[in-house]
Structure 1
Amino acid sequence: MTALPDWMRPPRAEGWFAEDLDSLPEAPRHTELIDGALVFMMSPQRWWHGEVVTDLTLALRTQAPDGFRVGREMTIRLDARNRPEPDVVVTTAPYDPDCTWFAPEDVKLVIEVVSPESAHRDRTVKLRKYAEAGIPHYWCIEDEDGSAVVHVYELDEPTGAYAPAGIFRNALKRPVPFEISLDLDKLTPPHNG
């Protein structure tokens, strides 16, 4: 049996803290912190996932008004023990080339593209954690026979939980966090065969 590398050992009995992620250069590229535990993307990413994330990022960037930025694969420091890495994030934070994470108050929309290995976290754990952090909008994108289907949630401020705001197939139009109009069929390559 192979011993764990030193970087995988928590630096303290309480586990990992959000700031620890910036000092783990040996960690796999898409490492998240959930409840003080490191979570790695261990399985290869599907081509479908990458295409949706890239095309969605580009489409949102073309529609984002001044004051909004659209990025991908940047962590959000929800609290001392949680730093998830959504697939796409819409933020009002000013550009800082050395930034490694966003504060939740600067994040207006978080988008997770569901993969088989992340399904539980995306549909339940992150749904709850993003709401508790006060992020106003959350989209969870599912693969439905090769097509992107977007499950949209809005933060219900009195309860502090997300409320479903619609399930979108083929096209999506939303007035928040800015005017968004997407042809969802263009997020995935055409099927051959």
Structure 2
Amino acid sequence: MSVTVAGTTKLTYDEYLHFPDDGRRHEIIDGEHYVSPAPSTDHQNVSRHIQYALYRQLEERGRAQVFNAPVDVELSPTDVVQPDLAVVLTEHSDRILRSRLRGAPDLVVEIASPSTAERDRTLKLALYARHRVPEYWIVDSEKRCVAQYRLQSDGGYDEPDLHEESIAFADAVVDLTDVWRRL
């Protein structure tokens, strides 16, 4: 179950740094605190196999760095998230700090779970568009489908392309049939 802790003042990254290390994911979106439980084993399997495919095809070739949760992505002082996966292309490596990513990754991947699916499809979709994340994937492992959102010139995302068998980003192609086979 996801919990929102609302207050009258917006939380910032500095306050976020003092949240407990309790095995749950803590995020702040527009200054509000969101907590999610640890991911399931299916969630972790999907994340690991997508990460491995991106790592082999991008990071090993020097094209990008691939990060998996928990890694802090500071989009602004009041927007700090921990996406399941974040990819930063080499030409944007200045966004990679020792403690976190600062600024928009080139790709964000969220694996939808019962406690986060609604937030991934609404709040985070708007957040990533607002901070100009070029590409956002929402993985639905139950439906065995990935919704691929690409940032448009007007700063928003169009309707997603839906992928069941494979999906591409930069020079990488993720074989989704292999990912689904692991479930």
TM-score tier, shorter chain, comes to 0.7 to 0.9
Quick one: which amino acid aligns to residue 153 of structure 1?
Answer: Y
Consecutive unaligned residues of structure 1, counting only runs of 5 or more, are 1-8
Q: Provide the C-alpha distance between the structure 2 equivalents of 1:189 and 1:19, rounded to a whole number of angstroms.
A: 41
Q: Equivalences for 1:105-184 in 2 at 5 Å?
A: 105=104, 107-145=105-143, 147=144, 149-157=145-153, 159-172=154-167, 174=168, 176=169, 178-184=170-176
Q: Match of 2:48?
A: 54
Structure 1 segments, 4+ long, off by >2 Å, are: 23-29, 92-98, 188-191
Amino acid in the other structure paired with 1:104: G
Whole-Å Cα distance in 2 between the matches of residues 19 and 50 of structure 1?
28
CA deviations on 1:13-54 (whole Å, 9 max, x unpaired) are 514112222233445442111222221113x52221110001
Paired letter, 1:151: A
| TM-score, with length taken from structure 1 | 0.79
CA separation of 1:61 and 1:22: change in aligned 2, threshold 3 A: same
2:57 is aligned to 63
Q: Distance in 1 between the 2:96 and 2:79 partners?
A: 21
RMSD: 2.5
- Larger gyration radius, structure 1 or structure 2: 1
Residues 115 and 98 (structure 1), Cα distance of their counterparts in 2 relative to 1, 3 Å cut: same
User: How high is the TM-score relative to the length of structure 2?
Assistant: 0.83
* 1:185 equivalent in structure 2: 177
Residue 114 of structure 2 aligns to a residue whose secondary structure is coil
| Residue pair 2:46, 2:141 contacting (<8 A) in 1 also | no
Alignment match, 1:86? 83
Unmatched 5+ residue regions in structure 2?
none
Contact 1:48 1:188 in 2 (8 A): no
Check conservation: 1:155, 1:161, Cα contact below 8 A.
yes
- Count residues in correspondence: 173
Q: Which has the higher contact order (CA 8 A, sep 6+)?
A: 2
Percent of pairs with identical residues = 24
1:35-75 Cα offsets, whole Å, 9 max, x none, are 22221113x52221110001111110001042410011122
